[in-house]
A and B are shown apart, each in its own frame.
Chain A
């Protein structure tokens, strides 16, 4: 059974995770975004919502880390985090495997 993981992703019976908008494979159940495109940008590229530069408040570099479907470039995940940290955001659905 194919199940929705979220607004953009679905998990197929074989455990493959694909983009719901264009069908492009982006990962597998254990690593749903394994094959997605990841880009790091300046936090203020997120738009006017990030009011001041992080450097005013911290010595660590902070990045806007965006993950996209390689097929249609839909934004699958967005986080603003210290650059030296790996992404802790992941999930692993035990269905459809």
Chain B
């Protein structure tokens, strides 16, 4: 069914607005603190550094508090959350080093709240607002729930703090809220625009019930809500003390200057880079269960002087399915790689950094969709693809500069391998969990070194996976293996980091099997491209093995190490699937590595031999892709390698079908 426009939804179609515009909209409904440019100019180096350092340490404390208090494995073990300090209109002064996608849209949520909630119900001291409406901001899909709180000093909103984290289930057709058969947002968790869930320091039970009622795991979600409240409280206490000691005007002046500083330094770096434009494309296969189409996001990145323009003209229109993302997803897709590749040595003050970026995108496209398009998977679908295409274009830009090229990376793990398990756990309780093993994706190759094997994801500088034992304790499953997968890193002069695979059986559930939801693209084509002639990373590869004799094999003392050894009936898992796993079924999921850099035939043969010894590259890959010849001890034979590479060069270019010497 084609998407039917929803009248009334346009008031939530938020866009960033300028501080001046926000002030106009708020008018006298609530007083907003401000300092003038002279005060910012007047801050001395000593005071600036002391307060800046303290703000950083407050952001770290928030993250620490949230992580320790949360009960969601995606937060505690996988760091899929973030925290930020914003100024009085929501510009982000400091963002934590966790999932930077998330914090990249908090400003929009705060800003919308100021403009739309300042009169009714009003914004007062001790209030906190909850939001999971990605059209408004504060997150990329409904699972990203943000909680942000104004800090009042002397009757004025001095600043805002915000915490956002992935909640494992907020309702919708499928467990985990990613309804793989869905065509629009009504199949999914209903977005909640900003609501005042904490009023004057107290949780509003009525609002909390509205929030929790939709979830399959309301207690877990309630615990996380308290974690977010705690994180905001920690920050407020510290910020209040800071204002008392140095005066609110001075602290605000430092906030402004932190953003100005980040902006000025990014502009300076951009001026050092050549002007030009870089274009590329990012693909996604399948928008929902049963769909076999391939979709594209096209980016033309132009760098002129000290500005970057991201033009997404040519991107596919939004689709029926769960892979679209809203404007916050588009922005949240760009910001993480701007931070890691351009701002590795610049303060992460997105409020300042964003001033150097322009975005051109047409509403109604797959990464700037309109209500009620399906966005259940936005964060790791179209937002992620936006990150991939941004990575590639920025890598091209950096590659042209002798010094800055050391901070380029090819695309990292091209997609999120979503596998959700639900059912009854070994203790008899209901459970829903996202398997987060695929956090350990491969990072993209660099211009001077290989990508980090199982090094993480582009958007989460501090990602993490849980131990096998922790997963087996928490959920009714037993792993046959979790291992790095050879050849999954994109081949190149510098190799992309390898991804990995997990293979497990349902185990010890009183009902025998578990419910499985899969949403993992990159199967029809790889999604992490290479740079500078490097090959893309490998494809995603998931297999369900039905009715195996695995339990007999284990009892007889054999642990299979390959799908052939597992046996049973093999089902190649499509991109989207919702199914049951019986007690004799085995699930194998293999996620992606990072893209390569440079021509693989230029890779140092000794490095290839080391890769083979460490199982990062298979013998076949070493011979066929890298053209390296080995003797019977696995040592490189130089002359044979030279011949092999010469022949491969001609054959891959299609010049002749000559035999490649063994």
Q: Is chain B found bound to chain A in the same assembly?
A: yes
- Please list the residues of chain A having a beta carbon within 8 angstroms of any beta carbon in chain B: 3-8, 37, 39, 41, 43, 45-52, 54, 56-60, 62, 66-68, 72-82, 85, 88-95
Q: Which residues of B contact A90 (CB under 8 A)?
A: 278-279
Closest to A58 in B: B524
Whether B618 contacts A80 by the Cβ 8 Å rule is: no
Question: Given A7-B447, A50-B538, is A85 in contact with B620 using a C-beta cutoff of 8 Å?
Answer: no
Q: Which residues of B contact A59 (CB under 8 A)?
A: 292
| Minimal beta-carbon separation of A17 from chain B (angstroms) | 12
- Please list the residues of chain B having a beta carbon within 8 angstroms of any beta carbon in chain A: 274-281, 283, 285-286, 292-294, 296, 298, 314, 392, 396, 399-400, 402, 447, 486-491, 493, 523-526, 529-539, 541, 572, 574-575, 590, 593, 597-602, 618, 620-621, 624-625, 649-650, 652-655
Q: List 19 A-B contacts (CB under 8 A).
A: A5-B400, A7-B533, A39-B654, A46-B625, A48-B618, A49-B489, A50-B538, A57-B292, A57-B523, A58-B525, A62-B524, A78-B535, A82-B283, A90-B278, A91-B276, A91-B278, A92-B277, A93-B275, A94-B275
Among B533, B572, B620, contact of A74 (Cβ-Cβ < 8 Å): B533
Q: Which residues of B contact A93 (CB under 8 A)?
A: 274-276, 400
Whether B653 contacts A66 by the Cβ 8 Å rule is: yes
Whether A47 contacts B491 by the Cβ 8 Å rule is: yes
Closest to A40 in B: B654
Whether A80 contacts B621 by the Cβ 8 Å rule is: no
Whether B292 contacts A37 by the Cβ 8 Å rule is: no
Whether B275 contacts A50 by the Cβ 8 Å rule is: no
CA distance A10 to B572 in the complex (A): 44
Whether A56 contacts B532 by the Cβ 8 Å rule is: no
Q: Which residues of A contact B599 (CB under 8 A)?
A: 7-8, 74-76
Question: Given A48-B621, A50-B538, A94-B275, is A89 in contact with B531 using a C-beta cutoff of 8 Å?
Answer: no
Whether A95 contacts B538 by the Cβ 8 Å rule is: no
Most chain A beta-carbon contacts within 10 A, residue among B296, B489, B534, B652: B652
Whether B536 contacts A80 by the Cβ 8 Å rule is: yes
Whether B653 contacts A68 by the Cβ 8 Å rule is: yes
Q: Which residues of B contact A92 (CB under 8 A)?
A: 276-278
CA distance A93 to B655 in the complex (A): 31
Q: Which residues of B contact A41 (CB under 8 A)?
A: 652, 654
CA distance A85 to B602 in the complex (A): 29
CA distance A50 to B275 in the complex (A): 36
CA distance A95 to B273 in the complex (A): 10
Whether B621 contacts A49 by the Cβ 8 Å rule is: yes
Whether A47 contacts B624 by the Cβ 8 Å rule is: yes
CA distance A66 to B652 in the complex (A): 8
Question: Given A48-B621, A66-B653, A91-B279, is A7 in contact with B574 using a C-beta cutoff of 8 Å?
Answer: no
| Minimal beta-carbon separation of B114 from chain A (angstroms) | 39
The main secondary structure of chain B at its interface with chain A is loop
Most chain A beta-carbon contacts within 10 A, residue among B277, B574, B590, B597: B277
Question: Given A80-B526, A88-B281, is A75 in contact with B533 using a C-beta cutoff of 8 Å?
Answer: yes
| Minimal beta-carbon separation of B239 from chain A (angstroms) | 45
Whether A49 contacts B535 by the Cβ 8 Å rule is: yes
Whether B400 contacts A7 by the Cβ 8 Å rule is: no
Whether A6 contacts B276 by the Cβ 8 Å rule is: no
Given contacts A85-B296, A95-B275, 17 further A-B contacts (CB under 8 A): A4-B400, A7-B399, A7-B598, A8-B532, A8-B598, A46-B535, A49-B487, A49-B535, A73-B652, A74-B601, A75-B533, A75-B599, A78-B530, A81-B281, A88-B279, A88-B296, A88-B298
CA distance A85 to B281 in the complex (A): 10
| Minimal beta-carbon separation of B611 from chain A (angstroms) | 13
Among B293, B531, B602, B653, contact of A39 (Cβ-Cβ < 8 Å): B653
Q: Which residues of B contact A81 (CB under 8 A)?
A: 281, 283, 525
Whether A91 contacts B590 by the Cβ 8 Å rule is: no
Among B314, B396, B533, B654, contact of A78 (Cβ-Cβ < 8 Å): B533
CA distance A79 to B277 in the complex (A): 19
Question: Given A73-B650, A75-B599, A91-B396, is A51 in contact with B539 using a C-beta cutoff of 8 Å?
Answer: yes
